[in-house]
Amino acid sequence: MKYIDEFRDKGLARRLAETIAAEAHPGRDYRLMEFCGGHTHAIFRYGVQHLMPPNLSFIHGPGCPVCVLPMARIDHAIALATQHDVTLCTYGDLMRVPASERKSLLKAKADGADIRMIYSTQDVLRIARENPDRQVVFFAIGFETTTPPTAVAVKTARAEGLTNFSVFCNHVLTPSALQTILSTAGPDGVQLDGILGPSHVSTLIGSRPYRFVAEQFGVPVVIAGFEPLDVMQSALMLVRQLNDGRCEVENQYTRAVSEEGNRKAQALIDEVFRIRPEFEWRGLGFLPNSALALDDAYADLDAEERFPVEFAPAKEIKGCECPAILRGVKTPTDCKLFGNPCTPDNPMGSCMVSSEGACAAYWSYGRFRAASLQPKVESRS
Amino acid sequence: MCLAIPARITSIDVAADTAKVALGSVGKEISLALIEDAAVGDYVLIHVGYALNKISEEEAQRTLEMIAQMGLLADEQELVPEPTSTVTGPGGQR
Ligand code: SF4
């Protein structure tokens, strides 16, 4: 496939690995946080960590929107579907994420709620058009990548005068999560030397919004594509910045990311959304200015306004270390539930559900599976 | 969740602001609402049914050349890419 296979070339990967090993100074550590779950996935799938010298490590960040969604928002969505008998539509990634009392959207659906998996916001609009007698709510989630398609749906619904469409909005903003991670980095938090910046988020917002990382926190950033050669080249670019004592925002993923990003999509986001004063992130807590809600001009399409719900405070699953993993201070194997009982077939936390979650990546690519795990645990590799 | 896949535009419906793209051997309809000046033959990044951005052929080429140059230990001959495989993983599929 064009633009995929070329960036998975084994020979080039081997030589990049040799270069990184030759240039990394043996006396220092290179702790690179990959912000995006897409990078985590690539690093595990292609065994990139094993090609790196021992003093270069990847730390998994909070860049998986499914993983950082707090349980309370899924409880809220389930309450919305069950208390108001609406048709709730959402992306497949969310269906199995555990909510309180080991519920999930999938379980609520099995129990009779009208919950549907969609691929695109265009599907939600179609469902709303075809079912004028039912209220159709889009459970919207995602970083800046997934936000503009929601904006398009909102504008289309308004233009068509669809009165049975609304949005339960959970769109979150990448830079504020980075800001939080960096503010708590250091002796008590995660130790970071560089950041692999988001790929597809950056196609939308551009590379410019990451300048504060270099300027304010003195941490170099390389916007990195998701293919293995992209990740490796970006790691080398970070090693070179660190060796030279430079601290810049560099862009490795120039084939899709520009400095200013996709202006048309940004204008849509600005028009349809406003910034929430604060929003809860799993693992990071309530972060100011870190998420979006529908702008006042579209408040009538806001499902939170249209369908007020009541639900008990969320109950986290005891022992699940997702919050610490999302902050980069623990790894999945630090979790006592990892592998037994928590597996992708029986996820206890969000990091095991999404294929971009650190726990799912650790488990699915098996390289870190402890030999001591119970034999009854099914192998997936 | 944020993954996107490159695909080539095979036809455009200007009135509907949509395009057909080739994803391997499958055709798929996507929205062009988020990009400007899309043309048949362009490669775009597809995410949840929308083209997010165009992919620049020159930049892709330049990146591959840079990667090749970065492999300092490489000898010239080895720089010819290995035959491409047809495997696409979950990393590229969603
Ligand atoms: S292994 Fe499961 S329970 Fe443990 S942190 Fe990961 S998702 Fe949570």
pLDDT (tens digit per residue) in B26-41:
888 999 999 999 999 9
Q: Does residue B59 sit within a domain?
A: yes
Please give the residue range of the domain that contains residue B45: 5-70
Neighbours of A77 (CB within 10 A): 27
- Give the pLDDT confidence score for residue A368 in this predicted structure: 53
Query: What CATH number should be reported for the domain holding residue B65?
Result: 2.30.30.140
Point out which residues pair with A279 in neighbouring strands.
A287
- In angstroms, the CA B59 to CA B54 distance is 11
Q: What is the C-alpha separation between A141 and A220, in angstroms, rounded? A: 29
CA A274 to chain centre: 20
Return the pLDDT at B87: 43
What does the DSSP 8-state code read for residue A69? S
Q: What is the pLDDT of residue A4?
A: 86
Q: Is the pLDDT of residue B89 over 80?
A: no
Coil vs helix vs strand at A10: helix
Q: What is the pLDDT of residues A251-260, one digit of tens each?
A: 999 999 999 9
Share of chain B above pLDDT 90, in %: 43
Average pLDDT over residues A172-181: 91
For the entire predicted model, the pTM comes to 0.88
The ligand 1 site (C-beta within 6 Å) comprises A 320-322, 325, 332, 335, 337-338, 342, 348-349, 351-352, 359
B10 part of a folded domain: yes
Question: In chain A, at which residue ranges do the beta strands (DSSP E only) sit?
Answer: 30-36, 56-63, 87-91, 115-118, 136-142, 165-171, 194-197, 221-223, 249-251, 273-275, 278-281, 285-288, 292-294
Q: Give the pair of three-digit tokens for residue A367.
A: 């390289």
The DSSP line for A250-288 is EES-TTT--SS--HHHHHHHHHHEEE-SEEEETTTEEEE
Q: Is the pLDDT of residue A153 over 90?
A: yes
Q: What sign for the dihedral angle of Cα A251, A252, A258, A264?
A: negative
Domain membership of residue B76 (yes or no) is: no
For position B72, what pLDDT does the model report? Answer: 56
Q: Mean pLDDT over residues A166-182, rounded?
A: 93
pLDDT-derived band at A102, boundaries 50, 70, 90: confident
Structural domains in chain B (count): 1
Q: Which residues in chain A (207-266) have CB-CB distances under 8 A to chain B?
A: 226-227, 229-230, 233, 236, 252-257, 262, 264-265
Give the confidence band of A187 by pLDDT, cuts at 50, 70, 90: confident
Take atom 7 of ligand 1 and give the residue whose Cα is closest.
A349
ipTM of the complex: 0.87
Find the closest chain A residue to B85 by CA distance.
A5
Who has greater pLDDT, A61 or A167? A167
Is B91 among the domain residues? no
Report if residue B51 sits inside a domain.
yes
- Is the separation of the CB atoms in A62 and A283 below 8 Å? yes
**Which among A7, A255, A262 is the nearest to B34, CB-wise?**
A262
* CA A75 to mean position of chain CA atoms: 19
Residue keyed to tokens 């730390």: A59
Question: Do A97 and A208 meet the contact criterion of CB atoms below 8 Å apart?
Answer: no
Is B81 among the domain residues? no
Residue B91: pLDDT above 50? no
Three-class DSSP category at A337: coil
Residue A104 has pLDDT above 50, yes or no: yes
- Structural domains present in chain A: 24-61+184-251 (3.40.50.11750), 71-173+261-306 (3.40.50.11740), 322-363 (no CATH)
User: Would you say residue B30 lies in a domain?
Assistant: yes
Is the alpha carbon torsion for A169, A174, A175, A176 positive or negative? positive
Is residue B34 included in any domain, yes or no?
yes
What is the Cβ-side half-sphere exposure of residue A194, based on CA atoms within 13 angstroms?
30
